[in-house]
Structure 1
Amino acid sequence: MGVAAVLALGLLGEGGATDVASASAATITTSGGTTAAEPAAKQRGLRFAPAAKTVEAYGYDGYVYLDSGVWMGAYGEGYEFWAKRDKASAPVTLTKTVIRGDKRTTTKAAAAIVDGLNGFKRALTVKVADAKGNVLIKRTRSLCLGESDRQRVEPTGHTEPVYPSFCGGSWFTKSSVFGIEQGWAARLDTFFELETTRKNLRMTVTISDPVADFLGLPANGRSVSQRVKVIDECEMWECAEVGRELMGEPTEGFSTLAEGEPSVREERRQAHTGSTHSNHRDTAGSNHRTNLFTLGDEGTEHGGDHPSLGQAGAKPSNKKPAKETLPDLVSVPAWQIGTEKDGRVTRLTFNAHEWNAGPGPLVVEGFRRGSSETMDAYQFFYRDGKEVSSTKTGTMEYHDAPEHDHWHFLDFASYELVKPDGSLVTTSGKQSWCLAPTDPVDLTVPGATWRPEATGLDSTCGDRSALWLREVLPVGWGDTYSQYQTQAFNLAGVRNGTYQIRITVNPNGNLHERTKSNNVSLRTVVLGGKPGARTVRVPPYEGVDTEVAIDER
């Protein structure tokens, strides 16, 4: 096991997930400062589920990296949260649904405790003190009940998680869903990086009273305190090796990390803070863990595109697919628009995003033509998780280029810079795609897939030797690409003035879908400056400035 892997495992705390059953050893601190035994797991409702009385943190170079190992468990009933808005500038409404058997009880949260699509506002407070009680750090952050790390805590619970493993979204996300299934626990986001050399610490995790009231936490179960034992990394590993893993080995004043590649420290931070899906990351294969356990006891409204095991493939047909099996491909306006200079060339950069509003998943598979670097592409159609038909829909080609080296589906979308009257000015160099669900857009539409990684329909981009591959956009999800370098608009010969970025999904009509009425989006940009120093101004869209970070609005 590499050093980086060991460092990451260390953050799980003493005992990690295996100690969930021994949660009763932890101490619950009441608002009055007294302590009480942890509530019995048989009590119905949401309860703290700390993994151990003592957790281990890891120190290096004057910093301590620590995580409480505290979980929130749902005992005897499940909790489902929907965060929705009508448009980017509209306020988000958040509802809680308590699921007890077949009974569902829904309650709307007060606006004051809602943090947009991210969950509950200023609901989770983490305080770290030394052995003498001196507070070293106290931070409050949003609370998402449903992060990626979940564990089963009751044998009667679901066999697998049902809900997405994140909260939040992009400017154009209409709804998000999160929750804790009955019989499961979600690890709370309590990762911290603290500058200190002290070895014995105490961490206290608290849920704010307004949010605790809404969640139904008992008055004596809103805070949990644990001892933190700090282990010096250099006592376990050669210190120089630890430094290289955390920071990259310096060479002539520069890090060995590739440009844009996060350090191990940054990867650990992202892993514990739930960084959103912001960019499409090209890979030579699927990063998803194929999980062949269905979630059928929640019905087929969500996750209904799970393929049945061992079913016979459908024969290709020229017949029009059934309407209920079709996707609905939607183009989202460009955002995060800017300029970049490459030598004497100035380009207009932007993010592009297309998503599937359903009710059917978009499934495209490629089959290689002999030894050529071309595949015949087929679109497959599913009903109730079963493949029912397919039809030829175009081609895939191997993209032999830096940071790609995999197969792309041709003609999924087109990116054009046009004048206000619609006349073409220039096009993007991006003409092919490896489709994959990178961002949720609306997880409440009929047929939405909450956990794409659990459906068995994973996207893979393949390598040069591939004979076959599958690219998928589940219902409710989209694929974001950042257009830069040769994929951006070359502004040579483009005068200053007002233009529009026109994004068209399914431009040639090769893909079958429910409607083409929402396939085109336009975003106004105003170019200025002079050669070598071009500028761009982007007017707000639907009343919001999408050119700042989503968490800075």
Structure 2
Amino acid sequence: MSRPSPRLLTMGIAATLALGLLGEGAAANVVSASAATPPVGAAVPTTTDSTDTAQSSAQRGLRIVPTGDTVQGYTFDGFVYVDSQVWLGAYGESHEFLAKRATASAPAVLTKTVIRGNKRTTTKVPAALVDGLNGLKNGLTVKIATPKGKVLLEETRSLCPGGWDRQRIQPTGRTEPVYPSLCGGSWFTKSTVFGIEEGWAARLDAFFQVETKRTDLVMTTTVNDKVANLLGLPAKGRSVTQKLKIVDECELWGCEGVADQLLGESAEGFSTLAGQDAQSTRAESLRAQGGAHSGHAESSGTGHPVNLFTLDSSQAHGGDHPSLGQAGTTPSTKKPAKDSLPDLVSVPAWQIGNEVDEAGIDRLTFNAHEWNAGPGPLVVEGYRRGSAEVMDAYQMFYRDGKEVGSTKTGTMEYHEAPEHDHWHFLDFASYELVTPKGKLVTTSGKQSWCLVPTNAVDLSVPGAVWRPEATGLDSACGERSALWLREVLPVGWGDTYSQHQTQAFDLTGVRNGTYQIKITVNPNGNLHERTTSNNVSYRTVILGGTPGARTVKVPPYEGVDTEEPELVEN
């Protein structure tokens, strides 16, 4: 039996088995940090008026917020899985980080902005503290030891000042988070935003696994000094030590099927985390961000990251949406206003490889990604055509969160297949293998799409949405009985599909040599957008080998090798 990843087990226990790695006890064993951290719920002034007290000023800023001196971990398959119950909270001010890079190989430039009321103070983060798009380099150290101090495992990793599991800690803060629930990106991410809003806290990424049979363990989570200085953490409030209470999962739930229940089964648009390197900071960030749709039920690829943007609208987390419930618009054939249009962009294929499917056919596998550069969201709605398993698709146009028009744009059909069994839009993209001169060699079996934002590409473009799950425009692929559904690509976000098995290129009869993977978004021109000049991308591949043992070489893109997953900046 393969070992589940620690993040997966943590999320699976909390969501599936309702156990969660929750701390016990009200007091925190914090190394000289308690006095520097305002209590959860404490009101801290949000202005810089002269009436602010010295105590309030001292409490402003980022602070470590622990919630217990004992944390529950668990043992499974010879490993102990743990997570510190520690958050990083923002009191009296917000801390915003913007990471940008010019090309895939260019170093990311990171700025930090402290926001107090209407005042914004921006500084550049020293390059030595920047880990690409992942956050602050070597910012967090997690140590597992025995009560007598023998260190069993110690790891320093990047610190994401933001990310998943947001908790509101002050009633004076915003009613909903502002920043994305992630740090990181893909090879093609140009810019991303992360941070912690005033009155909110984000859990520190301290997932850990250690191969041991001991149950009397102690975990210490430390924000390292250089990063702590940048964040303004008090000198005596940078480390938290917690005892671990280890629970045997088999005793609680029985071993049979535990791993399968935790790992689950991958599904399009959202799936499990199986098969990924849990010790990699970059992989952890990718998991937090969300990733590819699964291409086929029998895909030979690894597991796919959880999609942040829920496909089940009943589970969506809505924020403040004053425009929701507005009157709809009458469909029109008139040209929509340019400022309400999306700009659909194709990026080159990556993670390209080869496989032999169950029928013995050589196939060229790849990831495909298309994104929306704005300024308007791409919103496509389907309306069922009588009792047929066909929907008429309409493109809806939005400005400032309000629907301002719509027009018929294509067709949706119900896709009955393993891992699908939902509705797909037929007019979104095409995937082709062509010669260097553009002659068609073969096409992908992928012919329809359920659109959903899996990856942030550029959160600095005008109209970019930082938290798609809070816009009120939720993507849903729909059940067979659906009368209507909506699929969305918010500004700044794209949708990734992994092409395996029948959705990969069939290499039967394809000679060895140099080819290009051609990805075209909006190939039929049915979708209205600002420009079609960036709708096509190409990626060179060199095929070799023999039938049953084909080889694939992929030249670097913008100076980086996108075929090495462990090197992806996330």
Q: Same fold (TM over 0.5)?
A: yes
Letter in 2 for 1:366: G
Q: Distance in 1 between matches of 2:534 and 2:267?
A: 37
| Count of equivalent residues | 521
C-alpha contact 2:338 2:530 (8 A) present in aligned 1: yes
Moved more, 425-434 or 152-161: 425-434
C-alpha contact 1:4 1:264 (8 A) present in aligned 2: no
Match of 2:469, SS? helix
Q: How far is the alpha carbon of 1:198 from its aligned partner?
A: 2.7
Query: Which residue of 2 is the match for residue 278 of structure 1?
Result: 291
Change (3 A) 1:202 1:445: same
C-alpha contact 1:307 1:457 (8 A) present in aligned 2: no
Change (3 A) 1:331 1:234: closer
Q: Distance in 2 between matches of 1:82 and 1:486?
A: 40
Letter in 2 for 1:65: Y
Moved more, 360-369 or 486-495: 486-495
Q: Distance in 2 between matches of 1:4 and 1:242?
A: 14
TM-score, normalisation: structure 2: 0.85
Q: Distance in 2 between matches of 1:207 and 1:86?
A: 30
Q: How far is the alpha carbon of 1:530 from its aligned partner?
A: 2.1
C-alpha contact 2:36 2:234 (8 A) present in aligned 1: no
Query: Which residue of 1 is the match for residue 303 of structure 2?
Result: none
Letter in 2 for 1:290: A
Structure 2 counterpart of 1:535, from 547, 551, 558: 551
Query: Which residue of 2 is the match for residue 291 of structure 1?
Result: 317
Q: Distance in 1 between matches of 2:291 and 2:485?
A: 24
Query: Which residue of 2 is the match for residue 300 of structure 1?
Result: none
Query: Which residue of 2 is the match for residue 245 of structure 1?
Result: 258
C-alpha contact 1:27 1:38 (8 A) present in aligned 2: no
Letter in 1 for 2:23: E
Q: Distance in 1 between matches of 2:535 and 2:15?
A: 47
Moved more, 527-536 or 216-225: 527-536
Q: Distance in 1 between matches of 2:365 and 2:340?
A: 35
Change (3 A) 1:503 1:358: same
Query: Which residue of 2 is the match for residue 159 of structure 1?
Result: 175
Query: Which residue of 2 is the match for residue 308 of structure 1?
Result: 323
The gaps in structure 1 that reach 5 residues or longer are 250-254, 295-305
> Is residue 323 of structure 1 aligned with residue 338 of structure 2?
yes
C-alpha contact 1:127 1:203 (8 A) present in aligned 2: yes
Query: Which residue of 1 is the match for residue 158 of structure 2?
Result: 142
> Is residue 58 of structure 1 aligned with residue 74 of structure 2?
yes
Q: Distance in 2 between matches of 1:76 and 1:248?
A: 42
Query: Which residue of 2 is the match for residue 104 of structure 1?
Result: 120
Moved more, 408-417 or 343-352: 343-352
Query: Which residue of 2 is the match for residue 301 of structure 1?
Result: none
Q: Distance in 2 between matches of 1:292 and 1:259?
A: 23
Q: How far is the alpha carbon of 1:263 from its aligned partner?
A: 8.1
Deviations, residues 355-412 of structure 1 (Å, cap 9, x unaligned): 0000000000000010011110000001111111000001111111222111111121
C-alpha contact 1:498 1:526 (8 A) present in aligned 2: yes
C-alpha contact 1:307 1:386 (8 A) present in aligned 2: no
Change (3 A) 1:489 1:36: closer
Query: Which residue of 2 is the match for residue 387 of structure 1?
Result: 403
Change (3 A) 1:110 1:263: closer
Identity of matched residues, %: 66
> Is residue 13 of structure 1 aligned with residue 22 of structure 2?
yes
Q: How far is the alpha carbon of 1:552 from its aligned partner?
A: 6.0
Q: CA RMSD in A?
A: 2.8
Q: Where do 4+ consecutive residues of structure 1 move more than 6 Å? A: 255-261, 263-272
Match of 1:220, SS? coil
Query: Which residue of 2 is the match for residue 398 of structure 1?
Result: 414
> Is residue 432 of structure 1 aligned with residue 434 of structure 2?
no
Q: How far is the alpha carbon of 1:352 from its aligned partner?
A: 0.6
Letter in 1 for 2:399: R
Query: Which residue of 2 is the match for residue 358 of structure 1?
Result: 374
Q: How far is the alpha carbon of 1:202 from its aligned partner?
A: 1.9
C-alpha contact 1:4 1:245 (8 A) present in aligned 2: no
Give the alignment of 1:486-525 within 5 angstroms.
486-525=502-541
C-alpha contact 2:342 2:373 (8 A) present in aligned 1: yes
Deviations, residues 326-356 of structure 1 (Å, cap 9, x unaligned): 0000000011111111234211111110000
Deviations, residues 440-468 of structure 1 (Å, cap 9, x unaligned): 11111111111111111111111111110
Deviations, residues 404-426 of structure 1 (Å, cap 9, x unaligned): 11111112111111111112111
Letter in 2 for 1:390: S
Letter in 1 for 2:317: N
C-alpha contact 2:267 2:419 (8 A) present in aligned 1: no
Match of 1:213, SS? helix
Query: Which residue of 2 is the match for residue 28 of structure 1?
Result: 30
Letter in 2 for 1:397: E
Query: Which residue of 1 is the match for residue 37 of structure 2?
Result: 39
Q: Distance in 1 between matches of 2:551 and 2:316?
A: 45
Q: Distance in 2 between matches of 1:483 and 1:264?
A: 18
> Is residue 341 of structure 1 aligned with residue 356 of structure 2?
yes
Query: Which residue of 2 is the match for residue 303 of structure 1?
Result: none
